[in-house]
Amino acid sequence: MGAVFISLLLVVPLLVTPAAGAEGKRRKGETPQQLLRGMTLEEKVGQMMMVGFYGSEPTEDIRRLIRDVHAGNVILFSYSDNVQTPVQTAKLTNGLQRIAEETRLKIPLLISTDQEGGVVARMTTGATQLPGNMALGAGRKLKDSHEAARITGEELRAVGINMNLAPVLDVNVNPDNPVIGVRSYAEDPHLVANMGAAAIRGYQRHSMENRVVATAKHFPGHGDTDTDSHLGLPVIDKSREELERVELVPFRRAIESGIDAIMTAHIHVPALDDTPNLPATLSKPIMTGLLRQEMGYDGLIVTDSMTMAGVADYFGGVSQAAVKAVDAGVDIVLLTPALTADEQIEVYQEILEAVRSGDISEKRIDQSVRRILKVKLKYGLFMNHQVDEDEVAERVGTREHREKADEIARRSITLVKNERGLLPLKLSEDQKLGIISQYPLKEQVDRYHSHSTEIHMKGVNPTDEEIDQAVEMARKQDVLIVGTYSASLYPQQIKLVQALQELDKPMAVVAFRNPYDIQDFPGVDAYVNTYGYRPVSLEAVADTLFGSNQPQGRLPVTIPDLYPYGHGLSYSGSEPTDRIDP
């Protein structure tokens, strides 16, 4: 791969010349190193900034950040109105790239988002909604992981997003993990590594116009925490040997697979750096010593959001933490719309001042900028960073992509418990079916049984009044389907299910997120995991509940004291295979 990359540097028309009077002209054979020599310090530091903004089209704030701060990278979110529809997103990214073209060196932008699949997806309306990682882990097919990434990458690139902050390579060994859970493939580090490697190929190894930069996260591993790093600083209190056996396995495999970006975790790992309360993101022994030198990684290192409490609450706030992250060895500092444009500019200026004062060497900055430019070259951004807005509808949410998503979702549904042979449901026409769920299932269920009544919970933690209403409705039904969502985090859900159990009606519980919910109500008749609540998973679970889909999924995690890793039932009497299929 190295020889191929060097040859690309020599032959691909590249970048603009920095020579006086020649700005804006591209010259054959010019390399990132040649461009680097003509960049100002301000332009170099700007390339290391990934900035965010509010708006569905380019605003004056983002113009300032790209024009005045020389920001080389942008992150898009749905909550900030950046991502609404595919066509709107394509128009936005084209507009952002045009702003970059107006700068002196015309360096194109890396434009990123979090399109993990399942519960974390920024582009939903009009796009193919795919099951997430744990659903893929339950399905045990490496090809599904590859195809999910390929489809995601093609649709992102079609709208001008050239970097996906995925796949998640955290090994979810802690059932109480509040932030990873179903975003992980499994508790088995080797299954995570294999699935992750397949996803990396799906994102990165395609034609220039279809591939995106994949970003493995969250290094060195966020799977064994019981604290959300958005809210505090988790501590991974494991030995180096334990980390090597579990957390680091998927990242080593990702590096072997040619991953082009790795995102850091705001977690404290004393076995790797015992500096008190130091997040891995800010640790030179972890970022440079372990990741660069020991593991031999020379791709991009991107911070997780620097506004998260796991890093922002330490070392003097976001600006000082960003300086420490750059000094530790990261290449791109990720900022979000949680900071105003002025606050993001302050972060940039703080890094700039650290270099001017000698606290960070310009050589250290050059190392990062060189890596950033190489990636932009590798993905053809200097030649083709605009997208055809008229082709978006033909490339996003296609029938082929949706059918593949349906297949993947159907393979992932896991039947964990089935007492009394309740499933598949075989209801007579006059039997009444009650549905109580945070996510509407009635439309899917009505394809099989027209006599259903649904109470749609308004949130994940129902009020006592909502619970009473649900129980009253349930009294009039013959069979119940109840949806849950990470019930251990929301005690009112547990109260609801337990109140319904007292009615002694046949009841199937569908867990729409974490698979561990049955721990809080082990006596339910039937229990099914979907690992996600997107429409594709709702369709698949309805098909499974009524028998038109044979459950094939296997638990990718252990449910403590109840069900082992690999457990799964079918309707045929034989358990689904636990092997990993290519």
Q: Which residues are catalytic?
A: 230, 304
Backbone phi, then psi, for 71, in 5-degree steps? -55, 130
Exposed, middle or buried by CB within 10 Å (0-12, 13-18, 19+), for 476?
exposed
Give the amino acid at 337.
Answer: P
- CA quadruple 115, 72, 34, 296: dihedral, nearest 10: -40
Take residue 218 and report the two structure tokens written for it.
Answer: 């969250």
Q: How far apart are CA 470 and CA 466, in angstroms?
A: 6
Take residue 151 and report the two structure tokens written for it.
Answer: 């489809």
Exposed, middle or buried by CB within 10 Å (0-12, 13-18, 19+), for 152?
buried
SS3 (DSSP) at 57? coil
SS3 (DSSP) at 387? coil
SS3 (DSSP) at 164? strand
Exposed, middle or buried by CB within 10 Å (0-12, 13-18, 19+), for 448?
middle
Task: Please count the other Cβ atoms lying within 10 Å of the Cβ belonging to residue 387.
Answer: 22
Q: Are 161 and 172 in contact (CB under 8 A)?
A: no
Q: Which residue has the tokens 């060497």?
A: 361
Q: How far apart are CA 551 and CA 437, in angstroms?
A: 21
Q: How far apart are CA 128 and CA 126, in angstroms?
A: 7
